Amino acid sequence: MSLSHLATTTIPSATAGNNPLHRIKSVQPRVHVSKRVSYTTCEKKQKKDGSDVNHVVDRRNVLLGLGGMCSATATMGSQGMSALGAPLAVPDLSKCHLASDGETKINCCPPYSTANIIDFQPPSSREPMRVRKPAHLLTPFEVERFEAAITAMKNLKPDDPWSYMQQATIHCTFCNGAFDQAGTKTLLQIHGSWFFLPWHRYYLYFWERILGKLINDDTFAIPYWNWDTPQGMKMPKIYTNEKSTLHDGTRDKNHLSAVLDYKYAYNDPNPVGPEVDEVIMANMCQIDRMFKESKHHPALFMGKPLRAGQPVPTNASGSCENLHNMMHQWVGPPVSPYYNMGNFYTAARDTIFFGHHGNVDRMWDLYNKFRGGKPEFKDHDWLESEFVFYDENRQVVKVKVKDCLTPEQLRFSYQTQKLPWTDIGRKCKKVKAAKKRSAGGDELKLIPVSEFGSQTRNVNTEIIRAIVKRPKISRTKNQKEDASEVLFIRGVDVPGGAAARFDVYVTKPIQGFMAPDLGELAGSFVKIPHGHHFSHHSKHKASLELGITRLLEDIEAEDSETLVVTIVPRHGKATIEGIDIELFDHDDDD
């Protein structure tokens, strides 16, 4: 399905989808995992003739992404978990403990320590469909109803699970380490993995239904901030009215009427004059590429898999979550501790959080339709994983990922809007070509570039450039359909709970040199400040994974044996251990 059909095509709800990917060293025919021998890196495997079997790595090793199967086996085994992984289970509500915001201990526990947990029953098809609209298109009456619902929530007693602060605290509970995973000593964290999108979908779902119950409206739907379209690339006015209950005084006042820039880092100046149109175009090009590069590789969009008993690394986010992080930083204050929107601990205290995440959820819905309605993973550990929420009937309910794969399963939808970024590919190429021509004589001022090397390098104030070898050049269209080319930034480490951002650019080398032009933006590492730490287990570093298959077409680098990868520090401090490029077999069931 092409991007240009997303806004008008209806896709039926599905219950099966693609397998996760396995790493390969060359493009090979698709083979289902169930039809191949699975090998781990914990022990050497050999063919019957005695030769090494090294062309396939067990898909579980890749999906762990957390130090390999060997360390995961040790971690799980010591906690009574299966080395093969398992779905997340509901935590023991009686064992909530203090969470952390940096060095400060905070209480994010729900106002109940025991509950009669019941299984969630998806809403009946007889229920009215709740239709979410863009925030900037709400009618005065709809704004009034939204404000009335928020006011009613804010007027509840502080210890009421429905109250505004208790609902906001849910985000801290599951993002700052208030619970351990069931039966383990591993902190429960839903960010930075494939749980980011389904957990937040349920979070908004119950928040929306509680608000509707408070104003006795079973059709009430929350608005979404559609920051992916030019009209929505500003803070919606319904949130900036100082007399409204939707207002929050902690936001960056410099951005109340500014145009949103996806490349924003703290304290960057706002775009002005001709820059505004350039920024809007660049934003849409980034959305377009995010969808195209990740179409066959859901982990690039959704985030890496996480099994029960496995600690989440500091960042295993997909491209959707990384983009989402930037919006948090742009809305929140530019100074530490970045309350409210700019910090995990307090983010949901600002009502715009739910408008922002409404659009994040909509991005997942559009991505699902772009892929033809197939669930991104049909992995048992994903589909059967469980979360717990307080619902609109004042019950604590256990929900499963498999029951929220589409908005329609939960009886809500997003009002159809024109998506200008779905047909922007050619315009993006023209803009890049014009910039290249305008460089003029600068192309002669070449900069020497060498390999990354074996030493950890600081991403602080200096730009890092490295020549990186590609696994295969000049791939055919069919080969690209079978495997994605992925750029890895290995061993990313950010100290403590600090905020950080660095951008990654790719270009072709010129006999071991590069032009002053950085090349094309492949993606960014964006970390929201938070206090979630990993004292319960050994530290695991992150890796940033960026699809570059379409990017290489755009910069006409498909026949280049090497690429120049440039890391540009934007904010905070980080270290990286290496850069490389690999091919990932799609292993689709198409």
**Residue 484, domain CATH:** 2.60.120
Tokens of 105: 């201990």
pLDDT score for 537: 40
What span, in angstroms and rounded, lies between the C-alpha atoms of 321 and 528?
A: 11
Q: Is residue 154 situated within a structural domain?
A: yes
pLDDT score for 433: 56
Tokens of 227: 């920051």
Q: Is residue 30 situated within a structural domain?
A: no
Q: How many other C-beta atoms lie within 10 A of the C-beta of residue 517?
A: 16
Same domain, 218 and 327: yes
pLDDT score for 353: 98
What span, in angstroms and rounded, lies between the C-alpha atoms of 159 and 171?
A: 16
Which of 255, 297, 328, 530 is catalytic? The answer is 328
Same domain, 357 and 505: no
**Percentage of the chain exceeding pLDDT 70:** 80
User: Which residue range(s) make up the domain with 367?
Assistant: 98-414
pLDDT score for 311: 75
Mean pLDDT of 243-256: 98
Tokens of 42: 């914990």
pLDDT digits (tens, 9 = 90+) for 57-84: 333 333 333 333 333 333 333 333 334 5
136 is catalytic: no
pLDDT digits (tens, 9 = 90+) for 489-522: 999 998 877 899 999 999 999 988 998 889 999 9
Same domain, 362 and 499: no
Q: Is residue 51 situated within a structural domain?
A: no
What span, in angstroms and rounded, lies between the C-alpha atoms of 271 and 281?
A: 12
Q: Is residue 111 situated within a structural domain?
A: yes
Which of 255, 296, 324, 530 is catalytic? The answer is 324
* 187: DSSP letter: B
* 176: DSSP letter: T
pLDDT score for 4: 57
Please tell me which residue, 50 or 98, carries the higher pLDDT value. Answer: 98
Q: In this structure, is the dihedral angle defined by the CA atoms of residues 355, 361, 365 and 367, taken in order, positive or negative? A: positive
Torsion of CA 429, 432, 437, 441, to 10 degrees: -150
| CATH code for the domain in which residue 320 is found | 1.10.1280.10
- Among residues 207, 90, 76, 202, which one has the least CA distance to residue 152? 207
pLDDT score for 315: 58
Q: pLDDT band at residue 312, thresholds of 50, 70 and 90?
A: low
Asked whether the beta carbons of 397 and 120 are under 8 A apart, the reply is: yes
- pTM equals 0.86
Same domain, 384 and 476: no
Which of 120, 146, 179, 344 is catalytic? The answer is 344
Alpha-carbon distances, residue 388 vs 17, 93, 293, 391, 590 (angstroms): 25, 10, 33, 9, 34
Cis-peptide, bond into residue 471, ω within 30° of zero? no
Q: How many other C-beta atoms lie within 10 A of the C-beta of residue 529?
A: 24
- Among residues 413, 368, 403, which one has the least CA distance to residue 382? 403
Same domain, 112 and 195: yes
Which of 191, 255, 297, 540 is catalytic? The answer is 191
pLDDT score for 512: 85
Per-residue pLDDT for 52 more than 70?
Answer: no
Q: Which residues of 348-387 are buried (b: 16+ CB within 10 A; e: fewer)?
A: bbbbbbbbbbbbbbbbbbbbbbbbebbbbbbbebbbebbb
Q: Which residues of 12-26 are buried (b: 16+ CB within 10 A; e: fewer)?
A: eeeeebbbbbbbbee
Per-residue pLDDT for 14 more than 50?
Answer: no
Per-residue pLDDT for 534 more than 60?
Answer: no
Residue 504 pairs with which residues in a beta bridge? 523, 567
When the pLDDT of each residue in the chain is averaged and rounded to a whole number, the result is 84
Per-residue pLDDT for 39 more than 50?
Answer: no
22 is catalytic: no
247 is catalytic: no
pLDDT score for 486: 97
Q: Is residue 248 situated within a structural domain?
A: yes
> Which of 380, 414, 448 is the last residue in one of the domains?
414
Q: Is residue 145 situated within a structural domain?
A: yes
Same domain, 236 and 343: yes
Same domain, 507 and 396: no
Same domain, 468 and 373: no
What span, in angstroms and rounded, lies between the C-alpha atoms of 176 and 179?
A: 9
Tokens of 449: 């570039």
Q: Is residue 10 situated within a structural domain?
A: no
> Which of 414, 429, 464 is the last residue in one of the domains?
414
Mean pLDDT of 225-254: 97
- Among residues 168, 329, 338, 340, which one has the least CA distance to residue 249? 340
Q: How many other C-beta atoms lie within 10 A of the C-beta of residue 82?
A: 12
Same domain, 338 and 194: yes
| Encoded amino acid at 283, one letter | N
> Which of 351, 380, 414 is the last residue in one of the domains?
414
Same domain, 378 and 444: no
Same domain, 367 and 241: yes
The residue whose two tokens read 């290496």 is: 578
pLDDT score for 425: 75
Which of 22, 297, 356, 357 is catalytic? The answer is 357
Which of 22, 146, 171, 540 is catalytic? The answer is 171
The DSSP-derived string for 250-288 is: TS-GGGSSSPP-TT--TTPPPP-THHHHHHHHHHHHHHH
328 is catalytic: yes
Lowest mean pLDDT among 54-58, 436-440, 499-503: 54-58
Domain count, the chain: 2
Asked whether the beta carbons of 85 and 381 are under 8 A apart, the reply is: yes
- Among residues 179, 189, 175, 188, which one has the least CA distance to residue 95? 179
Can you say how many angstroms the Cα of residue 70 is from the centroid of all Cα atoms in its chain?
27
Same domain, 234 and 156: yes
Asked whether the beta carbons of 254 and 265 are under 8 A apart, the reply is: no
pLDDT score for 103: 80
Can you say how many angstroms the Cα of residue 483 is from the centroid of all Cα atoms in its chain?
21
171 is catalytic: yes
pLDDT digits (tens, 9 = 90+) for 388-427: 999 999 999 999 999 999 999 999 999 999 999 997 877 8
**Packed helices 425-439 and 274-294: angle between N→C axes, nearest 10 degrees:** 120
What span, in angstroms and rounded, lies between the C-alpha atoms of 384 and 113?
A: 24
Q: Is residue 424 situated within a structural domain?
A: no
Which of 22, 200, 297, 586 is catalytic? The answer is 200
Mean pLDDT of 291-305: 95
